[in-house]
Amino acid sequence: MNYYLTVLKKYAVFKGRATRAEYWYFSLFNIIIAVLISIISSIIKNNFNLLLILYILLTLIPSIAVSIRRLHDIGKSGWMILISWIPLVGTIWIFVLMMTDSNAGENKYGPNPKELKAE
C-alpha cells in the first residue's frame, strides 16, 4: 500500500526513477481496486460502470508517470512507452522492460532509488 501512495504523491512527476516494486505494486493495487469497483457496480446493477471509468481517468496520469519513471530506471527514454501501442509485440516488450532490474548507480535520469533507500 505504501508504494501505491508513493505513486499518488508523485501524481504527475515524470522525472526521476521508479523501482520495480513501486511500479508493480501500483499496478497490482490498480487491478485489485478496478476489480472491486466492477464487482460493486454489478451488485448495484450499474451496467455503465461509471465508477470504474472515473477511477481509470483519475489514475491515468499517475500510471503513465510511474511507467515513464520505471523506464528511466533502466536507462530508457520515457517515449519508449509508445512501443506498447504496437499490438502484441509492443505489449510483450514493455512487459519485459518493466521486469528488467535497475541500472546500478546514477544514470542520466538521476540516482538509483534502491541505493538511496539503502543509505
Sign of CA dihedral 24, 2, 74, 11: positive
Q: pLDDT at position 84, please?
A: 94
pLDDT at 49: 79
Give the model's pLDDT for residue 72: 96
Question: Letter for the amino acid at 6?
Answer: T
> Which is nearest to 4 in space by CA: 63, 72, 91, 49?
63
Cell of 112: 538509483
Query: What are the residue boundaries of the structural domains of the chain, listed by start?
Result: 2-118
pLDDT at 6: 85
Please tell me the predicted confidence (pLDDT) of residue 17: 94
Q: What is the mean pLDDT of each run of 10 residues along the chain (119 residues)?
A: 83 93 95 92 78 92 96 95 95 96 92 75
Instruction: Report residue 49 as a C-alpha cell.
Output: 460502470
Rounded Cα–Cα distance for residues 47 and 57 (Å): 18
